[in-house]
Amino acid sequence: MKQQKLRIMTVDANFAKSMRITWGTQHASIQGEDLQLVLDQTSGSAAQTKIPFLFGSIESKIKLVPNNSAGTVTAYYLSSTGSAHDEIDFEFLGNVSGEPYIVHTNIYTQGNGSREQQFYLWFDPTADFHNYTIHWNPSQVVWFIDSIPIRVFSNYENEGIAYPNKQGMKVYTSLWNADNWATRGGLVKTNWTNAPFIARLNHFRARACKWNGPISINNCASNNVPSNWWASPIYKQLSYAQMGQLNWVRSNYMIYDYCKDTKRFNGQLPPECFKTQF
């Protein structure tokens, strides 16, 4: 009987089938595989998936706002709803022409965030499309860029550290004006003479478990269900080669790690900072 209740849904559809525009409908657009987000002085724009997920791999190719993108933020993230929400973030903080984008990552568990890690990129993210993937399973969350892992958040729930494994999350993407903080802490403002600002996304794939309410907490985590590929032991930790890639990124391109910001936390770093994450 239990097997009959399983509704493991793998979504492998384009933007038009998977997402809907929720903000800026007057200038954002979805056409098949392509989503275009637009920001001008009237508004930004946003889209979200029609259904939530619990565990799997969420990916999209993104071409960020070119030239002077200072003050703008392109966001691509998973989130549940409510004050005790879970969230897994990619945010891309714009900059003046010639200066690098900052990749801002964060994870919220039960409404608590403040787990930021930031990176520069090893390529120009405005020149072409690049793949940004959030891989999320019962063991760990991994942020990938072009199949290279840049960050890991491991499950230490059995030691009292919250982990996002009990709330379905939709996928969201948006382009908005955040010039009060996005570029150099808000010192550089959006130059509206460069508007409209356009971010382009394509090849959205959610190879993930559809959230069907509380029953999904166990169903989507089970490694006894063949379609739950993300629960396979092979995905419990990074491979040796992936560890090498992760260390390369973190040694050369990481610019902020909350776990090293003792001043911010008055010397009381969050407990996960003392755990092995990868």
Q: What positions carry a catalytic annotation? A: 87, 91
Residue 64: both structure tokens together: 């960020």
Cis upstream peptide for 233 (omega within 30°): no
Residue 252 phi/psi, 5-degree rounding, is: -110, -25
Gap between the Cα atoms of 224 and 69, Å rounded: 47
- Please count the other Cβ atoms lying within 10 Å of the Cβ belonging to residue 124: 12
CB proximity list for 38: less than 8 A, separation 6 or greater: 24, 27, 28, 44, 45, 175, 196, 197, 198
35 with 202: CB under 8 angstroms? Answer: yes
SS3 content of the chain, % helix, strand, coil (to 5): 15, 40, 45
The alpha helices in the chain, defined as continuous H runs, are 2-5, 15-18, 215-219, 240-252
The alpha helices in 158-227, defined as continuous H runs, are 215-219
Cross-strand pairs, 133 = 59, 144
- Tell me how far the alpha carbon of residue 53 is from its chain's centroid: 14
Residue 166: both structure tokens together: 């009990």
